[in-house]
C-alpha cells in the first residue's frame, strides 16, 4: 500500500469517527493511550455534550497518569544516582512496620528492585495506600522484585532489648535473608550495623521506591499476622487496630488483662504487669 493510500485510509478513519455514537466514542477513548492521538482532535470538534463529557474525563485520566509517572520518577532519584555508579547494582530498600502498637511483633522487610521499575508505577508509602492497594502492590512486588525478605521481632524480643534495638536487629536479619547480596542499603530514618554502604533517609518511604516497596511488604505481612491473632485473642479488636491502642483495644485490656503477645514494656501494659506482680 502506497503512502497516498495510507493517507486516504487515515482520512476515512477520522471521518468515520465523527459518525460514532456516544457509546462508540467512549469505547474508542478507552483504547486511546496517548494525549497526542490525532483522533482526540476530531472528537474535540464534536458538539454533543456526551462526547465532550467523555473527552473531559479522558483528559483528567491523562493528567492523573502523568502525575503518577512523575511521582514514580521522583521516587527513583536515590536509586538512579546509585545505579549510575557501576559498583551499586543491587540496592535494597529497608523499612519496618509496628514500632508503635501495644501488641504483636515489629516486622521489617528488605526489597531489591530491578532497574526497570515500570511494573511498580503507583507504589507509595504503605500509609498512603488503602488495604486493597497494599495487597495488590505486595503481589506485584513479590512477582517482579529481584529479591525480598521479611524478618519478625516478637513482643518478647521487644521487651528484652527495646523497640528500637529490636527493629534494628530485624532489619539486619532481613538484609541477611535476601537471596541476593545487596551492594547498597536505603533505610527509612534508621541506621544498622552492616559492612554494606547505607543511607538513612528521613521519610524514606515517601522518597524512595525501594523503601516504599519494603514498607508495603512489611505492612501486608504484619496485618496478616494480627488478623490471625484476632482469632486467637478475640477480646482486643486486633482485626481493626492491628495492636495499636484504640479505644476498643484498651477496653479489652481493662476487662480481660493482657495477652502473651502484648508488649510488657509498653504502657499501659507495663503498669498492669507491675500491679499484678505486686499483688
Write out the chain's pLDDT in tens, 279 residues: 555 444 434 444 555 787 899 999 999 999 998 889 988 988 999 999 999 999 999 999 889 888 889 999 999 999 999 999 878 999 999 999 999 999 999 999 999 999 999 999 999 989 999 999 999 999 999 999 999 999 999 999 999 999 999 999 999 999 999 999 999 999 999 999 999 999 999 999 999 999 999 999 999 999 999 999 999 999 999 999 999 999 999 999 999 999 999 999 999 999 999 998 886
Strand partners, 200: 187
Closest CA to 38 of 3, 13, 1: 13
Cell readout for 200 is 538513612
Alpha helices in 101-246 (DSSP H): 131-144, 155-161, 163-176, 204-207, 209-232, 238-241
The whole-number pLDDT of residue 42 equals 87
The whole-number pLDDT of residue 132 equals 96
d(CA 151, CA 194): 16
The whole-number pLDDT of residue 1 equals 53
Cis upstream peptide for 124 (omega within 30°): no
d(CA 12, CA 59): 25
116 is in an annotated binding site: no
Dihedrals φ, ψ of 50, to 5°? Answer: -60, -40
Q: Structure pTM? A: 0.84
96 is in an annotated binding site: yes
The whole-number pLDDT of residue 23 equals 92
95 is in an annotated binding site: yes
Amino acid at each position: 500500500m502506497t503512502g497516498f493510500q495510507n493517507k486516504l485510509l487515515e482520512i476515512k478513519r477520522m471521518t468515520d469517527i465523527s459518525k460514532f455514537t456516544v457509546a462508540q466514542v467512549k469505547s474508542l477513548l478507552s483504547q486511546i493511550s496517548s494525549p497526542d492521538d490525532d483522533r482526540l482532535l476530531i472528537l474535540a470538534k464534536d458538539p454533543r455534550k456526551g462526547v465532550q463529557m467523555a473527552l473531559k474525563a479522558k483528559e483528567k485520566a491523562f493528567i492523573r497518569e502523568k502525575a503518577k509517572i512523575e511521582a514514580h520518577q521522583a521516587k527513583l532519584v536515590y536509586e538512579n544516582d546509585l545505579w549510575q555508579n557501576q559498583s551499586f547494582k543491587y540496592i535494597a530498600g529497608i523499612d519496618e512496620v509496628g514500632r508503635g502498637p501495644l501488641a504483636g511483633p515489629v516486622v521489617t522487610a528488605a526489597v531489591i528492585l530491578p532497574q526497570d521499575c515500570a511494573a511498580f508505577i503507583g507504589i507509595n508509602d504503605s500509609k498512603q495506600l488503602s488495604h486493597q492497594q497494599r495487597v495488590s502492590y505486595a503481589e506485584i512486588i513479590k512477582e517482579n522484585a529481584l529479591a525480598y525478605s521479611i524478618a519478625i521481632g516478637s513482643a518478647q524480643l521487644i521487651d528484652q532489648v527495646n523497640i528500637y534495638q529490636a527493629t534494628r536487629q530485624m532489619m539486619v536479619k532481613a538484609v541477611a535473608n535476601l537471596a541476593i547480596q545487596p551492594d547498597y542499603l536505603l533505610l527509612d530514618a534508621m541506621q544498622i550495623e552492616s559492612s554494606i554502604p547505607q543511607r538513612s533517609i528521613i521519610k524514606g518511604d515517601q522518597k524512595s521506591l525501594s523503601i516504599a516497596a519494603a514498607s508495603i511488604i512489611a505492612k501486608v505481612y504484619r496485618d496478616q499476622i494480627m488478623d490471625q491473632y484476632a482469632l486467637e485473642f478475640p477480646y482486643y479488636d486486633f482485626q481493626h487496630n492491628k495492636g495499636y491502642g484504640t479505644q476498643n483495644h484498651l477496653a479489652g485490656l481493662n476487662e480481660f488483662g493482657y495477652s502473651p503477645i502484648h508488649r510488657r514494656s509498653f504502657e499501659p501494659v507495663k503498669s498492669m504487669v507491675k500491679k499484678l506482680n505486686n499483688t
